[in-house]
Every structure is written in structure tokens, then in C-alpha cells.
Amino acid sequence: MTTPADPEALVGGPLDALTTPCVVVDAPALEHNLRLLADYFATRHCKLRPHFKAHKCVELARRQLAAGSVTGITCAKLSEAEVLVEGGITDILIANEVVGAGKACRLADLARRATVRVAVDSAGNVEELDRAARSAGAVIGVLVEVDIGMNRCGVPPGRPTLTLASRVAEARNLRFDGLQGYEGHVVQQEDADARRRGALAAMALLMETKALLVGHGLAARIVSSGGTGTYDMTGNVDGVDEVQCGSYALMDACYKRIRPEFRVASFLLSTVVSSRGTKVVADVGTKGMGCEFGPPLVEGFPEAKVLYVADEHTPIENVRAEVGDRLRLIPSHGCTTHNLHRRMWVVRDGTVEAAWAVEGSGCLE
Amino acid sequence: MTTPADPEALVGGPLDALTTPCVVVDAPALEHNLRLLADYFATRHCKLRPHFKAHKCVELARRQLAAGSVTGITCAKLSEAEVLVEGGITDILIANEVVGAGKACRLADLARRATVRVAVDSAGNVEELDRAARSAGAVIGVLVEVDIGMNRCGVPPGRPTLTLASRVAEARNLRFDGLQGYEGHVVQQEDADARRRGALAAMALLMETKALLVGHGLAARIVSSGGTGTYDMTGNVDGVDEVQCGSYALMDACYKRIRPEFRVASFLLSTVVSSRGTKVVADVGTKGMGCEFGPPLVEGFPEAKVLYVADEHTPIENVRAEVGDRLRLIPSHGCTTHNLHRRMWVVRDGTVEAAWAVEGSGCLE
């Protein structure tokens, strides 16, 4: 991708000078969100391990660490961990399985330069990681992933987890650090009571499993779980050590519905490229905006009706605007939106304060 | 994004050595597709203007030009045109409106270095482009976009188009080159007869409008339209000069249903990261795969049932595979898939032949 203009030249200038479509971060809203969650966990045993996958921006991860009440950073992919280490972050959990000999070598190499932990859910992968760590003279920290009801990755709770955890503990160059269980099947439930019940039921499975391991002499000193939807449910369960909240920092239209205490801190600035009557067409579509959870909201136009989202266009009814006017779109899904951009423009009081690189954009490996 | 391994080191090696998830191009299938469409238009008046937005790879655009029967390259965005010019492509149509003073300047600058045309649908934009072209001492070629039934961008057929075309013709530093009308509302209709009827009805509007302009002394020497779904419908209409096919080159699961004469020439190579019974989890989700038109197909597993596509995972039922095994996923939507990647691996007979950069990935401006 070419970047014709020097981004630094736009810093200090007005929001309106930005070229669209682009991601704009509302600095006071972001600061509110970081403060709120750091304060929440300040006096609790459980701490935050903010999830990089939601924004993919190393500078934002640094702000999350600086806000306090944290254990480190969570990320989804090995290549994300690599950009985090490159960016000076020293304590990282890759909250997924890293599979394949080549990736195992890269992970072992990373473990020599930072505290890196990874999730596992199969014996073959445990052996693969141990072998790579041994070759590199490294020790990799491991959390066994437990399927606590999401039915995606993870071993079943109870005995199967004990068996795999024992394999990890026996592996010479792995360090058994504990358990990960993600209640992803409930984190976005709109009804807060149902979400709480679901989260607590999932945590009960995780805690029974932890007790089983402890009874067999396996100290699970880290139990990592949770997300933005459940931070005040999962995060208050005795025995949960850290929650992997990601979306709270920048938020999106979907999380706004269930987490009104956080402010929407990022939006897409777009330009009207076509206008007829009360129908306009915005200059961004699915290539710049994650729409997995529905069309975007149009700020300032509560009556706006998004007709559909095409690759490069979003036609919208019930908006009166001229060609060249700007629209602010709030995507339904922040994680996939930020992945589509290379830069975030941080704005305060209408002035561009900084251009943050989105180093994790496109980190799929 | 970091690229830990030198891509060139993998060229000449086996497909299996690639790190997942990644886009793999089947070279013989691509060549088949390029040949088929070039041959189709070789003896016709209408030619191809292949659409860059479908693959975003400059090297692939060069192959499309080399295959023949072409007028130039189509793209969707100004920033795509910039990477095309940088890559040595000299005749480009930006098939959308380019709006805003800053972009108009970039477009004018580009028009000094290559033959660049753009679509317009508003008088204000015509003035803006003319002003920028005058400042730059450039001439920008312009096609007036006509709304021939898609109800997205474009002016209505007939008089409104004549009015805007006259404005373009009067503008000192713009060159009125003709009309663009995209029958996007029919290109993916499964029923070929209905698609043909829709395309012909849309072209009738375009041709009446062209005749009106000619009657008023405005020669519309280029009429640009069509796509992969309608190339043999729209492309045979008397007066259509070029069709903007894009998906035919690499194809996807969706176009495969309506265009079986082309071969699926790209797939996502992924790795099984978790496996239990007949359920596996692939290491790619919506951050690496466009799912707007549904979940991906799993090659070699006709019974496979994709449970859902998450950000980083795709859980699939009815697949027996071990952790570490590779799966080939055929996404429903090629355009948005290729935009998510930085590189395509070209493979022939199981051997990696080349690593092509996807320069247009993330070109949203």
C-alpha cells in the first residue's frame, strides 16, 4: 500500500483534513475506557490481560499497560506476539494453539526474548513445542485450554485436562503455568443475567478442573479467562487470575449495547461520494469495515437506514448530505475493522493528536 | 506486519512448507482462466478491462494484460491506481467517484504520469476534478456513471446524464471519454436467463443514453460495463466497448456456481489447530477470509459442515483430520479475501513457483 502523504504532516491539523476512509480514535473516550477498567481491577485479585486482537496497535497496548491493573498482553496469533515483542512488550499470552514445526521454532525463539505463554489442547502439539524449545534452549510457558462450553478449541474439563496438564508438566522445556478457559459462547449475550449465569457455570467447570489438578500436585498458578462482556462476572470468580478484555478499549456498535459504561472510542471517517434525494453512498464497504454483526451505525443520523454494505460502498437511506460531506460510521465489529487498517488517527477536540501504526494488521500467522 | 521468513526462500519448495493461513494460487487454473476470457474477446469488438479490485496484485494485472484482448486495467480506488502506476501499468480506469480536494490533486498528478480515467456522477465533483487538473497542468479522462438499475452511484439515464456529460465536455482540463454503467444488481443472479434479461435491459438504458449524447454532439467513445457474471451477455451488446471482469481470474465459491467454465484458482491453505472426533478447527477466520456470501467450502470434504466463522477460527464438523493437518478452504468471496493478505503463493504441481505481493491490500483511499 502506498502512503502518498506523510502522516506526521497531518498531526496537529484538523480531523477534517484526513483522507477517507480511515479509523479515528477519540482520545478522551479511549482514556475513559482504559481508566474505568483499570480502576475496576485495582483493588481486586483478578487483573487485566488486555487483548491485542481487538485493535492490533502496539501503542494502544502500551497505553493499556500504563493504565495499570494488568498482568501483560493477550494476543491471538504468533505473528502478533512477534510484533508485540518487537514493540517492547515483555509479557505475552498467545491465547490460541500454535501448531506446526516452523511456528513452534518461531515461538521458542520469541520465548528467549520475552515471557511468552501459549495455549495447548493436544498431546502432539505439546511434544512439538517441547522439541522446538529444547532446540532453541528456551522454556515456553503453557496454559492448557479447557473447553468450558464454547465447543471450539480446548480439552474437556476434568480428567482430560489433568492428563494433558501432566504431559506439559513432564515436558523438559515447557513450564506448566495453568489453565485458559474462554466463555466465548456467552460474552455477547444481551441479557446480563443470562450472561452472568452462563459465565458462572463455565467458571465452575474451570474451578473444578483447577482443584482436580491441584489435588494431583499440579499448581495452576494462572487461570486466564473472560472478555469485555463478562469482566465483572468472570473477573469476580474466586480463582480467576486474569481476564482477557479487548473490545473495551475502542468498543463497537455491538458491545455498546451490552456495555454502556464504556464509550465508543473509534469510528470510521468516510466521505459521501454520491447523493440523490435522501440516499447517499459512503466511500467504505466491507474492505474497510467489519460487518459480521450487522451494518454500521451512522453517527448523528438515528433514522439512517443502511441498505447494504458492498465491497467499497455503503448506500444509506434517510441521510441528507452532499457529495464531499463526511459521515462517521460506527462498525458493528471493531476487531475485524481495525485489522483492515494500517493506521489509526488519534483525535482530541477535533485536532489530530497522533498517527498510530496498526502493526498487527494482517498478522494472520 | 513482520515477515519472519524470506519469501524467496520458500520459492522452489513444496506447497506444504508454506506457513498458514495463506492464499495459494493454482497457476494452471489461473492460466486457464486468463486464456479463456482473452480468447473469448479476441474476435469481438468489445474487450476486457480486468478489475484489479478482485485480486489487488500488480503481477496478476500484468498477466491479464499479457493475455491480450484488453484495453487496460480497472480499479476501484485512487490508491489502487497509484500502486498500478507505480507498478508500470499505463492505462487505468478508476470505476468509482474520487471525491475531495486532496484526492483530486493526487488523481491529477497521476494523470500526468499515465492514462487515467475516473467515473463521475455529480457536477460538484466535475468542478473539483477540473480545478485540480488545471492546477497540475493535467488532463483527466472522465466517464459519466449512469445508474442503469443498481441504485447505488450514477446519474439517471437520459437527460440527467446528458446534462452532466455536457459539463464534463465543457471543463477545460477534463476529457469526456464516455459512459460507465454497471449492472451490479444482476451480475450474481444464479439463473442465467434472468441474468441475461437483466443485463440486456440495463444495457438498453445505457445505449439509449449514449444515442442521446451522440445526438447532441457528445461522442461517448468508451462505454464500460459488465463483470464476470455477464461478460458473454453485456460483452455482446452492440456499443459496449469494454467489460470490467475481475473475479474470473482467481474465482471463488460463489462465482463457481454461476461460471463453471472458469476454474477456482485460489484457495486458503490452513492448518487444523484443534481436533476432536469429527470436529476440527482451522486456523483462519474472518480476518483472513471474506465470508460475505457464506462460509467457505472445504476441498476434499464434500460433507464438511462449517459451524461458523469466527475472527481467527473456523470450526468444521464432518472432517476427520489431525492437529497439524492442512485444509484447503475456498472462500465465498474472493475480492474481500485477497484484500486481507499481503502475498499470494503461486503453486504448480505442488511446488511453489513464486511469491506475488498483494500491493493493493489495504488500499482503501
Mean pLDDT of B30-47: 98
For residue B296, say if its preceding peptide bond is cis, omega within 30 degrees of 0: no
Residues B153-179 have pLDDT tens digits of 999 999 999 999 999 999 999 999 999
Q: What percentage of chain B exceeds 70 in pLDDT?
A: 99
The three grid cell numbers given for residue B272, joined into one nine-digit string:
487444523
**Spatial CB neighbours of A204, under 8 Å, sequence gap ≥ 6:** none
How do A91-97 and A305-306 pair as beta strands? unpaired
Instruction: Tell me the pLDDT tens digit for each residue of B294-324.
Output: 999 999 999 999 999 999 999 999 999 999 9
Phi, psi angle pair for B343, to nearest 5° = -155, 150
B360 CA: distance to closest CA in chain A (Å)? 6
The neighbour count for residue A64, using CB atoms within 10 Å, is 29
**Structure confidence at residue B347 (pLDDT):** 98
Q: What is the pLDDT of residue A1?
A: 39
Q: Which H or E run contains A323?
A: none
What is the tens place of the pLDDT at every residue in B119-145?
A: 999 999 999 999 999 999 999 999 999
Q: Average model confidence (pLDDT) for chain B?
A: 97
Of A99, A151, A281, Cβ closest to residue B283: A99
Cell digits for A96? 490460541
Selection from A352, A290, A300 nearest residue A327 by Cα: A300
A1:B283 CB<8 A = no
Write out the E strands in chain B: 22-26, 47-48, 73-75, 91-97, 115-120, 140-145, 174-181, 222-225, 242-243, 266-276, 279-282, 297-298, 305-306, 314-317, 326-330, 343-348, 351-357
Burial grade of A114 (CB within 10 A; 0-12, 13-18, 19 or more): middle
Residue B17: list chain A partners with CB under 8 A. 102
Confidence label for B7 from pLDDT (cuts 50, 70 and 90): confident
Query: How far lies B80's CA from each of A288, A357, B302, B339, in Å?
Result: 14, 20, 37, 11
E strand or H helix that includes residue A265? none
- Rounded distance between C-alpha atoms, residue B287 and residue B312, angstroms: 6
Q: How far is B287 from chain A (nearest CA, A)?
A: 6
Indicate the residue of A76, A281, A336 with minimum beta-carbon distance to B152. A281
Model confidence at B3, in pLDDT bands (50, 70, 90)? very low
Shortest distance between the Cα of B324 and any Cα of chain A, in A, equals 6
Q: How close A213 gets to chain B, by Cα (Å)?
A: 22
Q: Are A203 and A225 in contact (CB under 8 A)?
A: yes
Looking at chain B, the number of H-run helices and the number of E-run strands are 11, 17
How far is it, in rounded angstroms, from Cα A102 to Cα A118? 15
B20/A365 CB distance under 8 A: yes
- Distance from C-alpha of B38 to C-alpha of B322, rounded to nearest angstrom: 42
Angle, helix A101-111 to helix A123-136, in steps of 10 degrees = 50
Q: Residues A191-220: what's their mean pLDDT?
A: 97
Q: Extract the C-alpha cell encoding B336.
A: 474481500
Instruction: Report ipTM for this prediction.
Output: 0.97
In angstroms, the CA B226 to CA B16 distance is 38
Prediction pTM value: 0.97
pLDDT for res B39: 98
pLDDT at B319 (0 to 100): 97
Report CB contact under 8 Å: A312, B53.
yes
What average pLDDT does the segment B184-188 reach?
Answer: 93
Q: Shortest CA distance to B179 belongs to which of B122, B232, B225?
A: B225
Angstrom distance (rounded) from CA B233 to CA B132: 38
DSSP B19: P
pLDDT digits (tens, 9 = 90+) for A328-359: 999 999 999 999 999 999 999 999 999 999 99
Q: What is the pLDDT of residue B2?
A: 40
Question: CATH for B10-25+260-357?
Answer: 2.40.37.20
If you average pLDDT over residues B179-192, what whole number do you get? 95
* B287 reaches A (C-beta below 8 A): yes
C-alpha cell at A359: 502493526
Q: Which residues pair with B93 in a beta bridge?
A: B74, B117
Chain B touched by A127 (CB under 8 Å): no
- Enter the DSSP assignment of B146: B
Q: Does A26 touch chain B (CB under 8 A)?
A: no
Cross-chain residue pair B122–A275, CB shorter than 8 Å: yes
- The mean pLDDT of A162-189, rounded to a whole number, is 97
- Check pLDDT > 60 for residue A21: yes
If you average pLDDT over residues B56-79, what whole number do you get? Answer: 98
Domain boundaries, chain A: 9-25+260-357, 72-240
- Which residue of chain B is at minimal alpha-carbon distance from A317? B152
Class of domain B72-240: alpha beta
Mutate: best of A74, A274, A275, A313, partner B, most B CBs <10 A: A274
Beta strand A22-26 pairing with B115-120: unpaired
- Spatial separation of the C-alpha atoms in residues A39 and A69, rounded to whole Å: 8
| C-alpha–C-alpha distance, residues A64 and A50, integer Å | 7
What pLDDT, on the 0 to 100 scale, is given for residue B6? 77
Mean pLDDT of B57-73: 98
A110-150 per-position pLDDT tens digit? 999 999 999 999 999 999 999 999 999 999 999 999 999 99
- Report the CATH fold assignment for A9-25+260-357: Lyase, Ornithine Decarboxylase; Chain A, domain 1 (2.40.37)
Put simply, the chain B residues between 64 and 83 with a CB less than 8 A from any chain A CB are: 76-77, 79, 82-83
Query: How far off is chain B from A77, nearest CA to CA, in Å?
Result: 8
Cα dihedral angle (B174, B179, B185, B187), rounded to 10 degrees? -110
Map grid coordinates 513445542 to a residue: A129
Contact pairs from chain A to chain B, CB under 8 Å: 176
Does the beta-carbon distance from A53 to B341 stay under 8 Å? no
Q: Which of residues 223-252 of B touch A (CB under 8 A)?
A: none
* B49/B95 Cα distance (integer angstroms): 11
Least Cα separation, residue A341 to chain B (angstroms): 6
The pLDDT value recorded for residue A7 is 81
CB of A295 within 8 Å of a chain B CB? The answer is no
pLDDT at B316: 98
Chain mean position to CA B213: 29
Q: How confident is the model at residue A2 (pLDDT cuts 50, 70, 90)?
A: very low
Entry field: residues in chain A: 365
Q: Is A99 on the interface with B (CB under 8 A)?
A: yes
Nearest-Cα distance to chain B for A42, in Å, is 30
Return the amino acid letter for B289.
M
| pLDDT above 50: residue A3 | no
Q: What are phi and psi of A226, to 5 degrees?
A: 75, 170
Rounded to the nearest angstrom, the gap between the alpha carbon of residue A161 and the centroid of all alpha carbons in its chain is 26
Q: Does B335 touch chain A (CB under 8 A)?
A: yes
Residues contacting residue B179 through CB under 8 Å, at least 6 positions apart: B143, B144, B145, B146, B161, B165, B206, B209, B210, B213, B220, B222, B223, B224
Length of chain B in terms of residues written: 365
The DSSP annotation for A98-147 comes to --SHHHHHHHHHHHTTSEEEEEE--HHHHHHHHHHHHHHT--EEEEEEB-
Residue A229 has pLDDT above 70, yes or no: yes
Does B281 reach chain A within 8 Å, measured CB to CB? Answer: yes
- Which tens digits make up the pLDDT trace of A252-276? 999 999 999 999 999 999 999 999 9
Q: Please list the residues that pair with A73 across neighbouring strands.
A: A92
Cβ separation B2–A83 shorter than 8 A: yes
User: What sign for the dihedral angle of Cα B298, A152, A291, B356?
Assistant: negative
Q: Which pLDDT band, with edges at 50, 70 and 90, does A8 fall under?
A: confident
**Which residues have CB under 8 Å from B170's CB, separation 6+?**
none
Contact, A233 vs A200, CB < 8 A?
yes
For residues A257 and A255, give the distance between their C-alpha atoms in angstroms, rounded to a whole number. Answer: 5
Whether B50 and B246 have beta carbons less than 8 Å apart is answered as yes
Q: Is B191 exposed, middle or buried (CB count within 10 Å of its CB: 0-12, 13-18, 19+)?
A: exposed
Q: Is B31 on the interface with A (CB under 8 A)?
A: no
Nearest to B56 by CA among A18, A336, A312: A312
Point out the residue among B124, B311, B361 whose CB comes nearest to the CB of A323. Answer: B124
Tell me how far apart the alpha carbons of residues A343 and A288 are, in angstroms, rounded to a whole number. 12
162-201 in chain B: CB under 8 A from chain A = 184
Please spell the DSSP secondary structure of A173-242, one letter per residue: TEEEEEEEE--TTTTT-SSHHHHHHHHHHHHHHHHHHHHHHHHTT----EEEE--TTTHHHHTTSTT--E
pLDDT value at position A49?
A: 98
For residues A331 and A289, is the Cβ–Cβ distance under 8 A?
A: yes
Q: Which grid coordinates belong to B14?
A: 513444496
d(CA B27, CA B78): 29
Q: Measured between alpha carbons, how far is B98 from B76 in angstroms, rounded to an integer?
A: 10
pLDDT classification of A5: cutoffs 50, 70, 90: low
Round the average pLDDT of chain A to a whole number and report it. 97
